Each structure stands twice: as structure tokens, then as C-alpha cells.
């Protein structure tokens, strides 16, 4: 195992170093010439003046750089001691040898030592920058003492006796030298604790002054020892100068380093940075500024914004700069500047720059390009206020705009109109041609509506196929009617949508301010109510709001609310109307019909609640309840009437819903009912409007073995080619064609035509609403197969039906 030996540097104690100086002085003094009295006075004056000037120069540097942290933290004892000694030595150098000559020197040594000795006290360690008044007071006190010493020599103690220094002179120098050595000791301890190199140098400074004070005891005027302690004092002053120069150079180096760092930040940031004087001339700009605007430094520096940018841009910059200078604070602005690809938006932070006297001498700015952020913000605003599909304002924007115009109309006492527009049978387009075609139609409708409006009008899309128009500054109701007619006419003209010619008939509701409402929600709600009134009156028309509509709408909402609870409260029930063969008058089937027994209003007509259910999702739950109840009721009838067919009305929305086939299969299996005995009835209009219904009929109904019937035939618009393609086995003549037979010859002709069409298509024919024997006889002779109506029986309960027709 080897042991590594390392040589550690030998540290010579600081106090041992101090012992070198007296020996050095003694050795050198042996080589001095014996007589050089001819240069005593000038040399002495030079040495003392140099020392005094160095002391005062160092103090001046402390005052000059007192705001710098490295200088400001210097102990107060240093500038106090140097100021005192420098001033006294200056007076000492200026007088002839004598009492005042020695007194001023001795006083400088004593007071200087006393001042430096306070470095170990809280007073002496206080930063010099906080006690500038103390320096001024000390300087004035020293000057006063020196002047009094020169003017009133009798006031000072005797310093010389027979060419020798008196006891007073020796005491002042010995005590002063001892205090300097004590200060050196304290500063060395600070060095050991803090490692501050300047503490060691100040310790050397004090040690030299202390040694000079002690050597005073061994000297007489002009001997070798006299000169060497003067040289030591000169060295001590030089050490103070070296310390100060080091600190200042360190400060300048630190400032240079900070300047390089700031330059690096200044020129490598992605933001624009610039400094202008209070007149607007550019003093500094960073590299990013030059690169973005394509300038060179000579093109920018010393120039104003008016010389660099378009006038309207420069005026904004100048105005913002002036605001910062007037406020004296940091301010934030959004500014726009030209680029090759257009105007860019900048977020500019501008703030005043102040000098040491807190006076503004320049303005600095940092500008960050937020163009993309503003574009994204604008896109968000558009998304929040505009419809993505059509580009029209959306509901939020419209309501804000309407609120503003209501306030304007209130102040001016004027009228404004709200037109609520809904496209008639728009769902058919989506169902038959697909949603892309529907979207394309909505876009074209939006364009056509926008072209019709005045500049001050507003068209918005609320959602789906609902649009709303605001007409401010309306003079009379007829003016609104003219606009509504233009809209209906314009939308009635065909649209070319992906090769299809489509029309977009519309129903429009109109509300007026202040007659029909004084706030946004009321006006829109009343226009909506009027729109539904237009639909009820035949569609493709407009209606004004009336107060009666409010009652109707309220009743409608109340009815819808009660209808939602009807299933849970067991308020719905089925009735059954028998169907008879006209040739044999035998019972061959029955149609189940839904009824609603309202707890307050009694029996509610299906004509009231079925359309309401169709417009909401209620038709799905009600339709499922009807399907389940009907099949469940059929189950016990199988034994007594195994071939009895039951007709069940279905909504096109039920056929479009997922899972209908599985639901029918599950119910027929659960209750043991043959699907071939179930006749599903669909209205003619519902069958023609929905492509999904046709697909279900062709794919699912036939597979299940269900029978299909077209209800209310002749009241809609059927395509014979589509009828032929569907697995239909029955047509039902609507009661509106039967009820006026034989009085209405046209109805008789239409009925014969429907029967003939059915025969041609090999379909079974059922007549509804048969109420007289003549009607039954006419239908029998015309070739109709089946009839139902009050002539045979009113709709009756399942129990009564079973008792009357099934042997109970």
C-alpha cells in the first residue's frame, strides 16, 4: 500500500509579514547618502502632497462611484480616515518645518489611526454610501482644525524641543501607529472570515501606516529613519490607490460583462427592442428590429418614426411614446406595423428611462409580434359569433345585435321587426339526398337571404334550418310584409344542389317592437310562435304574431308536458275499430287507435297530441307503447280468431329509429303472435318523405313477414314508381273522400280512381269513415275490399271488441 505525499503551501502568518517592514527600512537606510539636505523640503513636499492627493482622490472616487455596490459597501472608516489624513497632510506639506509642521503630521497619524480603528465598530462598518454627511462634516472639521493650528500656534502643544520631538509628538504618533496596527488586525480577521481580498490589502495599508507611526519614535527630522517612514506612508497611500483602482476596474469589468449579457439578450430575443430619446430619435435598435423591417443601422439610428414608416403608422407610435413620457410609467399598447405580407400586430411595452437624478432621458420599448395570436383570437370570436357552415351571424351575435337595436328603437320611438324563418320539409332533403346536400342547400339559402337584405338589416342562422332576420328602422307593418313576401318568393325559386333542382319553401313568423315585445327573448319567442302558426296554416307563408298565439303556445307547452307524463300515469289507452269484408260482411280485422284520457281536460283528441308527439321525441316512446300494447292485446284473441289482422299506425320516425325490427320480433315471440297478422299503417306523406323508411320497408319488413298499408291515400303526393317498388299490400282511402258520398261527385270519382289504381297494382283496398249504407253499397259496387267506420262500429275497448265479435 503506497501513501501519496502532497506538498501543501506554507502560509506565513500575517503578523510575521509585518515584521519584514522595519527590517527592510533599517537595511536600506545604511546605503543612504550622508547629506542631501538640498532636496529635503521639495522631496518632502512632493511625498506628502502625493499622499494627500492620493487620499483625497480615493475619497473622491468613493463619492463618485458610491451607487456601485462594490464601492457602496466599503466601510465608512476608510473614506473618513483617508479624508482626514489627506487634508492634514496637505496642510503639513505646505508649511515650513516647525511646531505646526510636526503637529499637523502627528495629528494626521493619530486621527487617521483612530478613524481606521473604528472598522471593528458598528459605526465604522456601516456602508460609506449611507453616511456621506459624515464625510462632509469630517472634512470641514479637519480644515477648521488645520486653519486654527496655523493661525493660532499658541493653542497647539509643543512638538519640538532642542531639535528633538517632544513627548506629545511621540505619544500622538505611537498611539496613532498602534491604532493603525489594531485596525490591520481587525481587517485581517475580516479577511479570514469572509475571504475578501480587499480586506487583506486594507490590512497592509493600515500596517504600513502603523509601522510608520512607530518608526517616528526612532527618527529625527531629515534623518534616514525619517525618510523611510515617509516612504512607508507613501506606500500606504499607494496601496489605498491600488485597492480603489482594483475595485473600479472590477466594477467596470462587471459592467462590461453585464453589457455583453444585455447585448446578447438585446440582439437575440425574438421581440423588437428599441430605445428613443425624448424627441423620438432612435438611439438603439436590436438585430430583430433591423431584420424584420429590412433596415440597416445607419438607416434607423438618429431617425424618427415619421422617416421610417407610413405617416398613419408613425403617428400612432409617436402618440403612444408621448403618453408614456407624460405618465412616467410602463404602459402597454397594441400597435400595427407594415411587413411584406401585410400589417402585423404587436404588443408593445414602453417605459421611460431615467438618469441618476430621476430625470427621463429616453424611452425604451419591447414589441412582440402577436399577429397569429390575434388571428386565432379573431377565429375564436368568429366561432363564438358566426355560424361555421353558412358564415352568417349565430344566435349569440344576433341576440346582442337585437338588444342594441331595441335600445336604439326605444330612444327614437321607432319600430323594428324580427322575422323567424323555418324551411319547410327540409328534413326530406337530408333523408333523401344526404346531409352534404342539405348543408349545400343551407349555404345557398344563406346567400340568397343576405342578398335580399339592406345593409342595416341582419340575417342569422339559429341552427338547423332556422334563420332569423332583423329589420331595424321599420316605418310600417306593410314594409315587413313586403320583405317576407320577397323571402318566400326568392326561396321558392329552385336551387341547384349537386345536380338536383330543389326548392326551399319557408314559413315565416313576424314580431314587432314594441307591439309584440320589448326585450330580445320575447320578440324571438313571439316570432317563433308566429312561424308555427304559418306552418299550421299551410306552410310557405308568413304570419304576424298575435296575443292569441301566446295562449296557444302556452297551451301547447302545457300539453306537451302532460303528454310526457301520460305513459307513466297510465293515461293512454287503445280502442279498436273493426274492419269488415264488403263482399261477405265478415269481420276480417281491426285497427287499433290511441286515446288519451287527461285527468283535467278529459278526452284529448289524437289530432291534438299526435302532431305534438311527432315534433318531439315523444312519438318514439308513445309508438313503442302502442306497438307493445297492441301485440299484447292480440295474444289472447288467437284461439277465437286465429286469422284476425290488426292494423297498427307507425310514425316514419319509428321506422327510422334503430332496433325496430328486433323490437317487433321480440314482442311477437313473447306473446306468440304471428307477424303476418300485423298490418303496419304508414301515411302517404311519411312514406314519400323518408328514404330511411323505404329502405326499412324493403329490407326488414318483408323479412319479418309484416303486412304494410298506406294510410290516408290520396291526400299526399305519391310516386307510383316508388309505390311499385315497395312491399305494400294495402291502400286505405282517406275518410275525406268517403264522407261526402254521394253528394260530392268529385269524391266519388276520386274514390273509383283509387280503387282502380289499387286493382292495377294488385293491392287490397280499405275505405275509412263509412257512415251510411249508401256509402257501403257504393264502395262494394266500385270494387272496394274492406270498410270501416261508424256505419259498422265506433272504436271500442278491447274488452267490448272481444265480447261483441269474438264470442264474449
Q: What is the pLDDT of residue 135?
A: 57
Q: What is the pLDDT of residue 694?
A: 62
3 state DSSP class of 782: helix
Place of cell 324563418: 421
In-domain check, residue 260: no
Where is the domain boundary, 202, 222, 251? 251
Going by pLDDT thresholds of 50, 70 and 90, the confidence category of residue 428 is confident
Choose the weakest-confidence range: 64-68, 204-208, 596-600: 64-68
Residue 391, sorted as left (phi over 0), alpha (psi -120 to 50) or beta, turns out to be left
Structure confidence by residue, pLDDT tens digits, 483-537: 999 999 999 888 888 888 887 889 999 999 999 999 999 999 999 989 988 987 8
Query: Does one domain contain both 132 and 171?
Result: yes
Geometric angle at alpha carbon 621, from 618 and 626, rounded to 5° = 115
Please give the residue that has the higher pLDDT: either 683 or 98. 683
Residue 265, sorted as left (phi over 0), alpha (psi -120 to 50) or beta, turns out to be alpha
What is the 3 state secondary structure string of 299-354? HHCCCCHHHCCCHHHHHHHHHHHHHHHHHCCCEEEEEEEEECCEEEEEEEEEEEEE
3 state DSSP class of 473: strand
Where is the domain boundary, 517, 545, 573? 545
In-domain check, residue 425: yes
How big is the chain, counted in residues?
808
Looking at every residue in the chain, the average pLDDT score rounds to 81
Q: How many CA atoms lie within 13 A of 670 on its CB side?
A: 13
Whole-number percent of the chain with pLDDT over 70:
82
Dump strand ranges (E) for 494-582.
Answer: 495-497, 500-502, 506-513, 542-544, 572-581
Going by pLDDT thresholds of 50, 70 and 90, the confidence category of residue 11 is very low
Query: Does one domain contain both 504 and 569?
Result: no
575 to 25, 627, 803: CA distances (angstroms): 137, 13, 14
Q: What is the H or E stretch that residue 797 is in?
A: none
3 state DSSP class of 221: coil
756 to 372, 583, 733, 787: CA distances (angstroms): 71, 17, 12, 16
Going by pLDDT thresholds of 50, 70 and 90, the confidence category of residue 672 is very high
Q: What is the pLDDT of residue 1?
A: 36
In-domain check, residue 330: yes
Query: Does one domain contain both 193 and 143?
Result: yes
Going by pLDDT thresholds of 50, 70 and 90, the confidence category of residue 37 is low
Query: Does one domain contain both 703 and 637?
Result: yes
Geometric angle at alpha carbon 420, from 553 and 393, rounded to 5° = 130
Q: What is the pLDDT of residue 637?
A: 92
Q: What is the pLDDT of residue 373?
A: 82
37: DSSP letter: G
Structure confidence by residue, pLDDT tens digits, 266-279: 777 778 888 999 99
Choose the weakest-confidence range: 141-155, 358-372, 439-453, 568-582: 141-155
What is the 3 state secondary structure string of 59-119? HHHHHHCCCCHHHHCCECHHHHHHHHHHHHHHHHHHCCCCHHHHHHHHHHHHHHHHHHHHH
514 prior amide bond cis, ω within 30: yes
Structure confidence by residue, pLDDT tens digits, 285-343: 888 888 888 889 999 999 999 999 999 889 999 999 999 999 988 999 888 888 767 77
Q: What is the pLDDT of residue 688?
A: 61
In-domain check, residue 690: yes
Please give the residue that has the higher pLDDT: either 807 or 453. 453
Query: Does one domain contain both 675 and 788?
Result: yes
Residue 798 has pLDDT above 90, yes or no: yes
Where is the domain boundary, 545, 575, 601? 545
Q: What is the pLDDT of residue 572?
A: 93
Query: Does one domain contain both 419 and 314?
Result: no
Cell numbers for 245, please give them: 483602482
Measure the CA–CA gap between 109 and 86, rounded to whole angstroms: 10
CATH assignment at residue 88: 1.20.1070
Full domain range(s) for residue 685: 560-805
In-domain check, residue 762: yes
Spatial neighbors of 478 by CB under 8 A, at least 6 apart, are none
> pTM here?
0.49
Q: What is the pLDDT of residue 692?
A: 56
Going by pLDDT thresholds of 50, 70 and 90, the confidence category of residue 404 is very high
Measure the CA–CA gap between 555 and 108, rounded to whole angstroms: 111
Of 212, 203, 127, nearest in space to 173 by CA = 212
Q: What is the pLDDT of residue 630?
A: 94
Query: Does one domain contain both 535 and 667?
Result: no
Query: Does one domain contain both 157 and 234?
Result: yes
Query: Does one domain contain both 441 and 353?
Result: no
CATH assignment at residue 346: 3.30.450.20
Structure confidence by residue, pLDDT tens digits, 253-268: 776 776 777 677 777 7
The DSSP bridge partners found for residue 386 are 393
3 state DSSP class of 616: coil
Query: Does one domain contain both 512 and 470?
Result: yes
Q: Give me the number of domains the chain comprises.
A: 4
CB 569 within 8 A of CB 790: no
Q: What is the pLDDT of residue 29?
A: 47
In-domain check, residue 710: yes
CATH assignment at residue 395: 3.30.70.270
Residue 700 has pLDDT above 70, yes or no: yes
Cell numbers for 316, please give them: 400612432
Choose the weakest-confidence range: 235-249, 349-363, 600-614, 666-680: 235-249
Greatest mean pLDDT among 31-45, 183-197, 446-460: 446-460
In-domain check, residue 258: no
Query: Does one domain contain both 576 and 528?
Result: no
Choose the weakest-confidence range: 96-100, 356-360, 404-408, 800-804: 96-100
Q: What is the mean pLDDT of residues 187-207?
A: 70
Query: Does one domain contain both 205 and 286?
Result: no
In-domain check, residue 445: yes
Amino acid at each position: 500500500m503506497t501513501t501519496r505525499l502532497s506538498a501543501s503551501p506554507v502560509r506565513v502568518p500575517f503578523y510575521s509579514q509585518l515584521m519584514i517592514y522595519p527590517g527592510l527600512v533599517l537595511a536600506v537606510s545604511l546605503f543612504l547618502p550622508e547629506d542631501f539636505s538640498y532636496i529635503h523640503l521639495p522631496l518632502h513636499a512632493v511625498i506628502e502632497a502625493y499622499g494627500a492627493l492620493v487620499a483625497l482622490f480615493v475619497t473622491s472616487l468613493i463619492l463618485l462611484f458610491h451607487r456601485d455596490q462594490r464601492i457602496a459597501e466599503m466601510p465608512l472608516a476608510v473614506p473618513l480616515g483617508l479624508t482626514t489624513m489627506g487634508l492634514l497632510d496637505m496642510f503639513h506639506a505646505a508649511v515650513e518645518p516647525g511646531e505646526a509642521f510636526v503637529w499637523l503630521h502627528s495629528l494626521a497619524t493619530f486621527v487617521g489611526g483612530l478613524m481606521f480603528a473604528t472598522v471593528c465598530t458598528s459605526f465604522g462598518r456601516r456602508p460609506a454610501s449611507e453616511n456621506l454627511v459624515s464625510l462632509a462634516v469630517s472634512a470641514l472639521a479637519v480644515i477648521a482644525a488645520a486653519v486654527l493650528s496655523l493661525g493660532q500656534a499658541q493653542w497647539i502643544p509643543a512638538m519640538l524641543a532642542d531639535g528633538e520631538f517632544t513627548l506629545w509628538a511621540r505619544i500622538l504618533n505611537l498611539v496613532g501607529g498602534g491604532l493603525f496596527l489594531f485596525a490591520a488586525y481587525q481587517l485581517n480577521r475580516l479577511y479570514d472570515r469572509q475571504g475578501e481580498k480587499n480586506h487583506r490589502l486594507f490590512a497592509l495599508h493600515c500596517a504600513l501606516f502603523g509601522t510608520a507611526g512607530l518608526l517616528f519614535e526612532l527618527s529625527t527630522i531629515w534623518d534616514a529613519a525619517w525618510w523611510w517612514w515617509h516612504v512607508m506612508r507613501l506606500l500606504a497611500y499607494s496601496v489605498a490607490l491600488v485597492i480603489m483602482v482594483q475595485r473600479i476596474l472590477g466594477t467596470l469589468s462587471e459592467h462590461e460583462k453585464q453589457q455583453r449579457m444585455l447585448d446578447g439578450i438585446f440582439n437575440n430575443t425574438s421581440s423588437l427592442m428599441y430605445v428613443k430619446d425624448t424627441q423620438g430619435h432612435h438611439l438603439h435598435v436590436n438585430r430583430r428590429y433591423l431584420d424584420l423591417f429590412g433596415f440597416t443601422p445607419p438607416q434607423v439610428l438618429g431617425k424618427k418614426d415619421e422617416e421610417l414608416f407610413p405617416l398613419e403608422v408613425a403617428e400612432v407610435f409617436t402618440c403612444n411614446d408621448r403618453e408614456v413620457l407624460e405618465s412616467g410609467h410602463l404602459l402597454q399598447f397594441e400597435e400595427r406595423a407594415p411587413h411584406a405580407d401585410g400589417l402585423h400586430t404587436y404588443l408593445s411595452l414602453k417605459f421611460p428611462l431615467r438618469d441618476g437624478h430621476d430625470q427621463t432621458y429616453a424611452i425604451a420599448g419591447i414589441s412582440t409580434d402577436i399577429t397569429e395570436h390575434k388571428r386565432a383570437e379573431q377565429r375564436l370570436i368568429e366561432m363564438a359569433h358566426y355560424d361555421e357552415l353558412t358564415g352568417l351571424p349565430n344566435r349569440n351575435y344576433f341576440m346582442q345585435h337585437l338588444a342594441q337595436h331595441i335600445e336604439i328603437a326605444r330612444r327614437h320611438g321607432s319600430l323594428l321587426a324580427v322575422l323567424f324563418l323555418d324551411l319547410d320539409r327540409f328534413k326530406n332533403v337530408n333523408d333523401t339526398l344526404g346531409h352534404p346536400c342539405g348543408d349545400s342547400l343551407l349555404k345557398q339559402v344563406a346567400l340568397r337571404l343576405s342578398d335580399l337584405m339592406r345593409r342595416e338589416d341582419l340575417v342569422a342562422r339559429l341552427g338547423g334550418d332556422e334563420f332569423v332576420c332583423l329589420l331595424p328602422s321599420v316605418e310600417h307593418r306593410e314594409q315587413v310584409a313586403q320583405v317576407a313576401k320577397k323571402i318566400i318568393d326568392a326561396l321558392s325559386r329552385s336551387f341547384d344542389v349537386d345536380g338536383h333542382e330543389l326548392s326551399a319553401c319557408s314559413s315565416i313568423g313576424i314580431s314587432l317592437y314594441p307591439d309584440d315585445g320589448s326585450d330580445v327573448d320575447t320578440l324571438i319567442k313571439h316570432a317563433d310562435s308566429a312561424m308555427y302558426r304559418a306552418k299550421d296554416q299551410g306552410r310557405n307563408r308568413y304570419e304576424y304574431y298575435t296575443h292569441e298565439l301566446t295562449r296557444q303556445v302556452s297551451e301547447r307547452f302545457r300539453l306537451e308536458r302532460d303528454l310526457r307524463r301520460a305513459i307513466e300515469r297510465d293515461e293512454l289507452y287503445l280502442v279498436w275499430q273493426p274492419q269488415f269484408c264488403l263482399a261477405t260482411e265478415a269481420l276480417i280485422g281491426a285497427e287499433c287507435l290511441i286515446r288519451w284520457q287527461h285527468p283535467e281536460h278529459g278526452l284529448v283528441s289524437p289530432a291534438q297530441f299526435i302532431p305534438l308527439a311527432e315534433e318531439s321525441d315523444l312519438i318514439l316512446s308513445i309508438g313503442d307503447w302502442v306497438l307493445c300494447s297492441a301485440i299484447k292485446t292480440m295474444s289472447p284473441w288467437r284461439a277465437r280468431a286465429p286469422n284476425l289482422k290488426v292494423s297498427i299506425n307507425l310514425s316514419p320516425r319509428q321506422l327510422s329509429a334503430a332496433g325496430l325490427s328486433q323490437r317487433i320480433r321480440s314482442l311477437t315471440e313473447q306473446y306468440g303472435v304471428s307477424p303476418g297478422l300485423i298490418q303496419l299503417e304508414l301515411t302517404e306523406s311519411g312514406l314519400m318523405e323518408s328514404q330511411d323508411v323505404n329502405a326499412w320497408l324493403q329490407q326488414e319488413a318483408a323479412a319479418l313477414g309484416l303486412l304494410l298499408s298506406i294510410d290516408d291515400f290520396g291526400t299526399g303526393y305519391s310516386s307510383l314508381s316508388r309505390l311499385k317498388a315497395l312491399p305494400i299490400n294495402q291502400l286505405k282511402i282517406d275518410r275525406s273522400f268517403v264522407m261526402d258520398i254521394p253528394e260530392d261527385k268529385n269524391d266519388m270519382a276520386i274514390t273509383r280512381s283509387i280503387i282502380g289504381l289499387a286493382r292495377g297494382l294488385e293491392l287490397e283496398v280499405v275505405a275509412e269513415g263509412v257512415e251510411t249504407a249508401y256509402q257501403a253499397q257504393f264502395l262494394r259496387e266500385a270494387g272496394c275490399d274492406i270498410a270501416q267506420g261508424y256505419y259498422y262500429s265506433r272504436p271500442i275497448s278491447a274488452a267490448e271488441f272481444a265480447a261483441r265479435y269474438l264470442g264474449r
